Structure 1
Amino acid sequence: MWDAPPRLFHWSIVVRVATSYVTARTGRIDSHFYSDYAVLALVLFRRGWGIAGNRTARFAALIRGPRTALAHLAEIARRAPGHNAAGGLMVALLLVLLLQAASGLFANDGLFEQGPLAGLVGPAWSDRFSAVHAVVINLLLTPSASISRRCCSLR
């Protein structure tokens, strides 16, 4: 079984990413910034816990290669304590979340708002980070949209 920190992380990241998305879409930029700071802190925590946490939370227990992950997905009925090989694919999700949070620190909205570090890179680079921030949120939303479509089409 997973210990408490990864479980708390999993549900906290779901809430924070949803909050970040909603606050960005509704123009509540101050709340969006704070929510994104929480996402960044959570991802950094999980990276650390994946290195120094207990045996079942460590990334070494996750990363077994794509072939092993796919084989595990084929035999999903078999359950083992802790992470499984398919869960190792979620390490990529952590990297995408890290890219999203980091790019937001340097991004701008082209009008009034900018990330807290945007002034360090200048307008051209801030625009590039803004583009990355926009692309990555679509990457994050694509799997959930696909799941939502499948879920809704089953009804």
Structure 2
Amino acid sequence: MADNTSSFTSALPKSSNVTELSQHPYVVPRGIIGKNERSQLIPFERKRPLLVLQKREVDFLGKIANSRTEPYAKVRRARMLLAYSRGERILSIARREQTNRPKVERCIDKVLSAGIMTALRDLPRPGRPAVISDEDKAWVLHVACSKPTEYG
């Protein structure tokens, strides 16, 4: 099997001089692109502001992110927000959560515009009103939790 990198490396200049490398059309040396807080190379500057959380907000999101009783969508959003507040890239968050980048961006945009509690909840959607009222649901739950001998 042939080495596919040989054609790429042969196109590079032999010198490691930064000025020579910066003039090559396919090579961008370190320092020109920039680095984020975790010293990873980033090709573009972020346009979305960073999410700065207070300690109590981090604790709150951490509790939800580790919860086994909260709805999965809420747990997933909490993990996304914690990762973004630590400075992780949106694409790496999306890959880890096995979702797409626009979904992570919507979650982050929601918290930046409306706050953490709104970002964790589903927004109301248009549609048909509920057929079963909350009182009916409470009655069914009460009957389901009571002893059968109470009803005959």
Kindly indicate whether structure 1 or structure 2 has the higher relative contact order, using CA contacts under 8 Å at least 6 residues apart.
Answer: 1
Q: Which has the higher helix share?
A: 1
Rg larger in 1 or in 2?
2
